[in-house]
Structure 1
């Protein structure tokens, strides 16, 4: 019964098999049915953006459970590091946390402490909620299962993070390090220049550090060609655009075809 209430984190399984996983960001749509659409499109995971998005705790829980039901791994980008943001997201059904604006090791250690149950962390235990599909089972087995399955993505988007990669990536419990190239370009003084040598060098440094410390290298961009380029260079968890961007791009392409043929 324990296995049935500790759902596997599917991207963890795929990454362990050597696959590259592809996801997108959810920034606006709050209807849980959107997860069926993303699953139909073939996405492996979704980043629910609670840093910039308009989501409540209740909505995040509904979206997370809907994603899980469709075989998509739900990861919540929290707005700031607090116990409530981490624990409520995970208790509601999210399988991972994305920690933004990382500047050093202490932040990451704090996030792990909030995510993991004792003895690996200090998260409070509760069963019969969204993360267990409202079921209960043997507490020690369930807690060990969630400690194994929860997935932590740290964002590398500050100058300090690039300078402290070894300290950040050696925190036990870090699964992936995701480059946010837009914010990183701002931090490095080359705003929006995705091919600037300074930014490229920082991304390459992060990629190398991930390989050194056996952390999954990851990136999110709004450019499919750029994302594919970095995937070929070794990024194994890649996120492209958002549901809003995909909607606008698809609609614009259709309108262009129709008006072009009129």
Structure 2
């Protein structure tokens, strides 16, 4: 795996495709997704119930498959942010980022001196248990770590220009469902208030040269949002892909067995 794969991806606007993992943290999942053509995986701890021990094991599965992994931790608390980095997270996502101060706190928590204030632990999982000088370790860790900033509140949209301007923010990621709820229009993604919010996020990313990412439920939306400027396209998730494929096959076989 390239040392800074996610951060390298965030430097260009060519499409990057992945999926969300919230259920099947199995030893083969990395190789399966890599074989399917995924460029990255979005590993979700916020809604899955995955704990730190599961995360640590899953990290090794995706490393073995050379598949870059962004991790959504359950909260903005330091101990989730720093521990996920210590376990080897390449990209970090935290929920409900609404202010410049919150975004800066996340950057401080995931970066070593001088870019941040992360507590020091070396020759462990995040640096592949390799020895080396402190200065080199700090530099490599800071260059490797990518911050994918989740914008999913009305305040996050209001402050998105300042958030996107921060050094250390590599990608703006839209949490579309929570954003619609925060805007008072749950699930109404065609509402003018929602589309205006999307326009503001897209404009901030373009202005400050940051990548854009979001989850999409189907192929058509993936293509449409890429056309709007989104380059990290996260297609569905393990639960829904498995469910929909199985439901389709079972229905077709059943209908032909009469």
TM-score with structure 1 setting the length: 0.93
Please report how far the alpha carbon of residue 19 of structure 1 lies from its aligned counterpart in structure 2 after TM superposition.
Answer: 1.9
Partner of 1:259: 254
1-side partners of 2:221 and 2:80: how far apart? 31
Residues 7-39 of structure 1, C-alpha deviation per residue, up to 9 Å, x if partnerless?
Answer: 523233334354211111111123232111111
The answer as to 2:154 corresponding to 1:164 is: no
Partner of 2:141: 146
Report how many residues are paired.
257
The answer as to 2:99 corresponding to 1:104 is: yes
Partner of 2:226: 231
Helix, strand or coil for the counterpart of 2:244?
A: helix
Please report how far the alpha carbon of residue 233 of structure 1 lies from its aligned counterpart in structure 2 after TM superposition.
Answer: 1.5
Residues 166-212 of structure 1, C-alpha deviation per residue, up to 9 Å, x if partnerless?
Answer: 11111210000111111111111221122222212211210111000
The answer as to 2:198 corresponding to 1:210 is: no
Partner of 1:63: 58
Aligned with 1:180 (options 154, 175, 179): 175
Residues 20-62 of structure 1, C-alpha deviation per residue, up to 9 Å, x if partnerless?
Answer: 1111111112323211111111111111111111111111111
Helix, strand or coil for the counterpart of 2:130?
A: coil
TM-score with structure 2 setting the length: 0.94
Structure 1 residues 65 and 216: alpha-carbon distance in aligned structure 2, compared to 1, 3 A threshold = same
Please report how far the alpha carbon of residue 97 of structure 1 lies from its aligned counterpart in structure 2 after TM superposition.
Answer: 0.6
Partner of 2:117: 122
The two structures, once aligned, show a CA RMSD in angstroms of 1.6
| Worse-superposed segment, 52-61 or 17-26 | 17-26
Partner of 2:70: 75
Please report how far the alpha carbon of residue 227 of structure 1 lies from its aligned counterpart in structure 2 after TM superposition.
Answer: 2.5
1-side partners of 2:77 and 2:250: how far apart? 44
Unaligned runs of 5+ in 1: none
Equivalences for residues 5-44 of structure 1 within 5 A = 8-44=3-39
